[in-house]
Amino acid sequence: MASAAKSRWADTEEDAAFEAKRRKEKEEKKRLKAAERVRKEAAAKEEAAKKAAAEAAAAAEAQARADEEGDNNDDRPPKRRKLTPERGNTDGSKEGEKTTSTEGNILRLGGGALPEPCQSVERYDKLNDIEEGAYGWVARARDRRTGEVVALKRLKLDATDRSGVPVTGLREIQLLKDCSHRNVVELREVVVGDRRPVDNILLVLEFVEHDLKSILEDMPQPFLASEVKTLLRQLAAGVAYLHSHWILHRDLKTSNLLLNNRGQLKIADFGMARYYSDDDSTNGGGGAHLTPLVVTLWYRAPELLLGARRYGRAVDMWSVGCIFGELLTREPLLQGKNEADELARIFDLCGVPTDTTWPGFRRLPNARALRLPPSSSSQPTLTTAASIRARFPLLTSAGCQLLSSLLSLDPEKRPTADEMLDHEYFRQDPRAKQEALFPTFPSKAGQERRRKRNTPNAPQRGAAVADLGSVDFAGIFGGREKEERGAGFSLRMV
């Protein structure tokens, strides 16, 4: 019989015994662990078998119950579910009720069909660049299939941003797809570039020849009063449509207002726009928590400058008031250098706010640091009306009242877009000019140049009289004897 193996590290019999004992304990632990694993597997199999048996029994019971109910009433479906009625149902059943017909009784979920894949931008030939904004680059292009001229807006994507398309681009696409109004720019489709990965996402928009800012910069004289009313009425109609669909534009300015050669104004650039909620349905709006860092500085409402995070459609109406003033003077109304300077210009035009003219303004985050001069409760109102009257001396009383209300410091006192459309200012003479009679301008976006006609100029004062010399006019009437003459008298040259 062979002797037991002895550890090569054991120097004594005691060491060899300790090594054998340790080896035996290790083998015992392995055996117990394997037995525990086998026991758990057996328990899991037993539990699965019990669960399967219970489910089979429940299914058999449900089937038996369904068969019993089917025997009692063959026309009723096995389960009591609300079924969407078939389209074009003429049996008088209401929506959500069961139909007695057994054909087409399936549950239908709303949401429409899956969207079609985006087309390639190669369908369009680029003609020229138009401009580059904060959220995209715009160019003029022509559709190769139809020959139609469109505007292509490429969204700005950050290559280092792993989140993909920015939320501003997604909002702009969603909002433009949901909007359909004559005073809102139309989104035709979304196209992509051919490079992989896709880093070019472009919006195909209708091409509009002008933007109001470029027109105002090139005009030698401001718009007529009737033309201002035409533009304002269209702007108010477009804003009213947006607000009725719970959309805040949040960046209304003259460069974002487009004008075509038929006198039609369109609101564009929805990069800062978003849906909003207004639970209490007030003009200022309780709304949700929103960022105050919106709207270009010169058109930003005072509550945004003071850090308000709850606001509504009144911020757009303040921008409309700033645009109103700019249409009258061809210059931006409040050209602040920074937020503090912008507030100073607003208070200079509209008066210093008080608890009477703007209740609760001191609760805004940035208002706590304001050091305002003491003033009486009636003085700011008089100052606002007087300063606006002095700033716009040719504006009618109704126009001054409308502009004063749009530029009210208190958001609750600003009119809505619907109230603006019904204002007395638009019913006074001169009435708004018809869009078809609106003047046209050379389109910078279309690279049009002002046509120069070879027309004579007025005579210069002090210039010498031209000497005609000897000119023979004898041949002017020559050869007219054979002309056909109609009835009546005929004149003869003597």
Q: Which residues contact 288 (CB under 8 A, 6 or more apart)?
A: 276, 277, 310
Q: Token digits for 308?
A: 């308000």
The 10s digit of each residue's pLDDT in 178-203 is 999 999 999 998 888 766 555 688 89
Looking at residue 112, what is its pLDDT?
Answer: 54
| CA 121 centroid distance within chain | 22
Looking at residue 76, what is its pLDDT?
Answer: 54
Q: What distance in Å separates the CA atoms of residue 283 and residue 263, rounded to the nearest whole number?
A: 30
Cβ atoms of residues 278 and 450 within 8 Å: no
Q: What distance in Å separates the CA atoms of residue 125 and residue 226, rounded to the nearest whole number?
A: 39
Q: Which residues contact 387 (CB under 8 A, 6 or more apart)?
A: 348, 349, 350, 351
Measured from the Cβ of residue 159, the count of other Cβ atoms closer than 10 Å reads 7
CATH 1.10.510.10 fits 210-437, yes or no: yes
Q: Token digits for 200?
A: 């070019």
Looking at residue 278, what is its pLDDT?
Answer: 63
119-120 and 187-192 strand pairing: parallel
Q: What distance in Å separates the CA atoms of residue 19 and residue 405, rounded to the nearest whole number?
A: 98
Over residues 484-494, mean pLDDT? 54
pTM (2 d.p.) = 0.65
> How sure is the predictor about 284, in pLDDT bands with cuts at 50, 70 and 90?
very low
> How sure is the predictor about 492, in pLDDT bands with cuts at 50, 70 and 90?
low
HSE at residue 287, side-chain half, CA atoms within 13 A, is: 22
The 10s digit of each residue's pLDDT in 5-36 is 555 555 677 777 888 888 888 888 888 888 88
The 10s digit of each residue's pLDDT in 93-104 is 444 444 444 444
Cβ atoms of residues 235 and 265 within 8 Å: yes
Residue 257 has pLDDT above 90, yes or no: yes
Q: What distance in Å separates the CA atoms of residue 419 and residue 416, rounded to the nearest whole number?
A: 5
Q: Which residues contact 372 (CB under 8 A, 6 or more apart)?
A: 352, 353
Measured from the Cβ of residue 9, the count of other Cβ atoms closer than 10 Å reads 8
- Residue spans per domain, the chain: 119-206, 210-437
Cβ atoms of residues 299 and 388 within 8 Å: no
CATH class of 119-206: alpha beta
Residue 335 has pLDDT above 70, yes or no: yes
298 by Cβ neighbours in 10 Å (0-12 / 13-18 / 19+) ranks as middle
User: Which residues, in sequence order, are bridge partners of residue 142?
Assistant: 125, 149
Looking at residue 184, what is its pLDDT?
Answer: 95
Q: What distance in Å separates the CA atoms of residue 239 and residue 246, rounded to the nearest whole number?
A: 10
Over residues 138-159, mean pLDDT? 85
246-271 per-residue burial string, b: 16 or more CB within 10 A, e: under 16: ebbbbbbbbbbbbbbeebbbbbbbbb
Closest by alpha carbon to 251, among 350, 171, 341, 157? 171
Q: What distance in Å separates the CA atoms of residue 480 and residue 102, rounded to the nearest whole number?
A: 92
Looking at residue 488, what is its pLDDT?
Answer: 54
Which residues are annotated as catalytic?
251
**Percent of the chain having pLDDT more than 70?**
69
The 10s digit of each residue's pLDDT in 359-371 is 988 888 888 878 7
Closest by alpha carbon to 193, among 271, 124, 146, 270? 124
> How sure is the predictor about 489, in pLDDT bands with cuts at 50, 70 and 90?
low
Q: What distance in Å separates the CA atoms of residue 300 and residue 253, rounded to the nearest whole number?
A: 10
Q: What distance in Å separates the CA atoms of residue 316 and residue 106, rounded to the nearest whole number?
A: 46
